[in-house]
Structure 1
Amino acid sequence: MESRAVTPRVIVTDAVGVVAGRWLMDAIEAVTTARGRCRLAIPGGTAPVPVFEWLAEHLPRSLVERLVVTWVDERHLPLPASTSDWRALPDDGNLRLAWAHWFSRAAVVPTLVSMARPEALAQAARRCSEDFAVQLDGRLDVVLLGAGPDGHIASLFPGHPALERTAAAEPCVAVPDSPKPPPQRLSLTLPVLEAVEHALLVASGEAKAAMLRRAYAGDDSIPLGRYRPRGAWTWVLDPAAAAALPSTCYEQGSQSEET
């Protein structure tokens, strides 16, 4: 398959949660207007927390009721016997993170397709692939991404075999040896994450600056630099994360967005 050159639109703002939240709300509304529902995948980590908190407060009920949320990846951790109370979920899990900063604060919870599974890792990956095919009809509409200082997205790390997984029948891949703890993880594959109409990256902090410069230049040695979404591709960064990018390649978030 021929590689596509995709240059992201870059927005730099001190209000990452507000700007990214509004971007996501607009994307969700566009998809639900066209298709009746929207399939969104979200990440873990600290970067999306301000976005989750903005969505909890501002995403209209009319959109939440037509929103299906899954995850770009999940840490494969022991689960409690009952997951009816989100506070019992593993502290390091991406599912708990989203509950703590979005779902528990919102008046309405979207439909969730969790990747947190009690089975052994390989079986959990198969079950997640089955759930993806049945509950999400095998594709996403919108994806929210974070990225590590090494350029990994989801749990697809530089040089790791999981990054090369392309089988359409297996949208979820087991990662038994993540270079970043915890070692066992589940991740959507790169082709699944790329086959979206709307893709958004959020990043904050100077530790990301050098990596973002490489990724913007299309450095295929890092997963973010290799990422080629099918549709609109936007980055929302704080000034520290954008520090190594030429100022000519980005736009500033407006004052109205930061209030």
Structure 2
Amino acid sequence: MRPARRDFRDKQQLAEALAGAVAGNLKAGIKSRGAASLAVSGGSTPARFFKALSERADVPWDKVTVTLVDERWVDETSDRSNGRLVKANLLQGRAAVARFVPLYQGGTEPDAYAACAAQRDVPQPFDAVILGMGNDGHTASFFPGGDTLAEALTAEGPVVAIRAPGAGEPRVTLTLRVLLAARALYLHIEGGEKVETLGKAEAEGPVEDMPVRAILRQTQTPLTIYWCP
């Protein structure tokens, strides 16, 4: 099952289209189960999408729980915090009433147990998961060379702590099992360099070299790739 791909002329068009798709996932979850959950990624790419999604008046935001796909183990006062990015760009305006469950739970060392305990309050499976991709082929915090990469890709549990040469700070990440259980799965990438990386990841080669291959090659959950120049 090959991923579907949608290409857009610019970042704003992509942001609006992805926001519309995810809003539809959330509304369907609320209609069916009375609540919905969303897991999002950090980095510089999703800010425009976050703002577009936050403006969706048709989403009953008070029934939505938002969490992160992964997080650097830093306080939200740090500009490296994904939680800070989400609060500043997504949990604004109409979406300010959504409930946010962070992965970072305090302390100096990554605490997968505490992050896992917090996730028990998040309705699962997720109604939508939005992933990003680095130019090294990582997604979530599945980094090449990560000390617990194998565990992150195979564990039954929901959260793994990980350190890797390209990750900067120590991190925690949702596991592959949890991500693939989502009702809708998206990969959001922008720019020529990222689409070149995607081409390499779609070629043959070990998952460990480009862990995003674990997402691209799986057949459990339909994946849609959103890309613009």
Q: Residue 157 of structure 1 contacts residue 223 of structure 1 at CA under 8 Å; is this kept in 2?
A: yes
Choose from 78, 81, 84 the match for 1:93: 81
1:145 alignment partner in structure 2? 131
2:45 alignment partner in structure 1? 47
2:73 alignment partner in structure 1? 76
Post-superposition offset of 1:236: 0.9
1:10 alignment partner in structure 2? 5
Q: Residue 73 of structure 1 contacts residue 185 of structure 1 at CA under 8 Å; is this kept in 2?
A: yes
Post-superposition offset of 1:139: 3.8
Q: Residue 53 of structure 1 contacts residue 102 of structure 1 at CA under 8 Å; is this kept in 2?
A: yes
Choose from 108, 116, 121 the match for 2:109: 121
Unmatched tracts of structure 2, length 5 or more:
none
The residue identity in structure 2 corresponding to 1:127 is A
Q: Residue 40 of structure 2 contacts residue 131 of structure 2 at CA under 8 Å; is this kept in 1?
A: yes
Post-superposition offset of 1:217: 4.5
TM value normalised by structure 1: 0.78
Q: Using the alignment, how far apart are the partners of 1:216 and 1:36 within structure 2?
A: 38
Runs of 4+ more than 4 Å apart: none
Q: Using the alignment, how far apart are the partners of 2:127 and 2:220 within structure 1?
A: 10
Partner SS, residue 96 of structure 2: coil
The residue identity in structure 2 corresponding to 1:131 is A
Q: Using the alignment, how far apart are the partners of 1:28 and 1:107 within structure 2?
A: 12
Q: Residue 70 of structure 2 contacts residue 173 of structure 2 at CA under 8 Å; is this kept in 1?
A: yes
Partner SS, residue 55 of structure 2: helix
Alignment partner of 1:222 is 2:220: no
Across the two proteins, how many residue pairs are aligned to each other? 220
The residue identity in structure 1 corresponding to 2:89 is H
Unmatched tracts of structure 1, length 5 or more:
1-5, 80-87, 241-259
Q: Residue 32 of structure 1 contacts residue 66 of structure 1 at CA under 8 Å; is this kept in 2?
A: yes
Q: How does 1:160-171 map to 2 (within 5 A)?
A: 160-165=146-151, 166-168=154-156, 170-171=157-158
Q: Using the alignment, how far apart are the partners of 2:46 and 2:95 within structure 1?
A: 20
The residue identity in structure 2 corresponding to 1:7 is R
TM value normalised by structure 2: 0.87
Choose from 170, 173, 179 the match for 2:160: 173
Post-superposition offset of 1:195: 1.3
Percent identical among aligned pairs is 28
The residue identity in structure 2 corresponding to 1:236 is Y
Q: Residue 162 of structure 1 contacts residue 175 of structure 1 at CA under 8 Å; is this kept in 2?
A: yes
Alignment partner of 1:191 is 2:177: yes
Post-superposition offset of 1:69: 0.7
Partner SS, residue 172 of structure 2: strand
Post-superposition offset of 1:223: 1.6
Q: Using the alignment, how far apart are the partners of 2:95 and 2:115 within structure 1?
A: 27
Q: Using the alignment, how far apart are the partners of 1:35 and 1:118 within structure 2?
A: 32
CA RMSD of aligned residues (A): 2.0
Q: Residue 70 of structure 1 contacts residue 112 of structure 1 at CA under 8 Å; is this kept in 2?
A: yes
Q: Using the alignment, how far apart are the partners of 1:163 and 1:59 within structure 2?
A: 39
Alignment partner of 1:234 is 2:224: yes
1:136-185 CA distances to partner (integer Å, 9 max, x unpaired)? 256423101111111111111124243321332x311111345232x211
Q: Using the alignment, how far apart are the partners of 2:56 and 2:89 within structure 1?
A: 13
1:252 alignment partner in structure 2? none
2:20 alignment partner in structure 1? 22
